Amino acid sequence: MPGTVELPRRRVRTERAPLGVVDYTLAKRALLRGVAGGLFSRFEVCDAHPELIRAAKHVGEPAHRPCPICKDDDLRLLAYVYGDTLKRDNGRVWKLETGLRLTATHRGASCYVVEVCTACSWNHLSEAFTARSAG
Ligand SMILES: [Zn+2]
């Protein structure tokens, strides 16, 4: 699989934000192997909710790698941030940079980076970042 998910991690390192990272590349590869082997249909994995597609178009940032399913270049990354101290912003979608900054400054917050293809509706969790301490 040519795609990697290095971009957000590199950004976090650059900012020296105190974030723990979980990479979902292996889970994604397993799913893509399942598609290639006929275990899952394209319809089963390209099932992004219309709201997710809309968010990807308006808030998503280019992933700089092609969609693993349709090879389109419109693969985008979004950040969903959850945390008790976020109050009204809990569970909202953000641009990557903002989502990571928000996570780094809220104790116990988590940022889930999702990749979404606006061409075929492929979507998968890319990485999760967790605040280690409050900023
Ligand atoms: Zn696609």
Query: How far away, in angstroms, is 76 Cα from ligand 1 center?
Result: 10
Total domains in the fold of the chain: 1
Report if residue 10 sits inside a domain.
no
Supply the DSSP string of 51-73, one letter for each residue: HHHHHHHHT-EE-SS--TTT--S
Query: How far away, in angstroms, is 21 Cα from ligand 1 center?
Result: 25
* 21: nearest Cα among 130, 116, 94: 130
Report if residue 119 sits inside a domain.
yes
User: Which tens digits make up the pLDDT trace of 46-55?
Assistant: 999 999 999 9
The pTM of this model reads: 0.83
Query: How far away, in angstroms, is 133 Cα from ligand 1 center?
Result: 36
User: Which tens digits make up the pLDDT trace of 18-39?
Assistant: 789 999 999 999 999 999 999 9
Report if residue 108 sits inside a domain.
yes
Query: How far away, in angstroms, is 74 Cα from ligand 1 center?
Result: 7
Query: How far away, in angstroms, is 54 Cα from ligand 1 center?
Result: 15
Report if residue 7 sits inside a domain.
no
Q: What is the mean pLDDT of each run of 10 residues along the chain (135 residues)?
A: 42 59 95 96 95 97 96 96 94 96 92 97 96 64
How far apart, in whole angstroms, are the C-alpha atoms of residue 71 and residue 92? Answer: 28
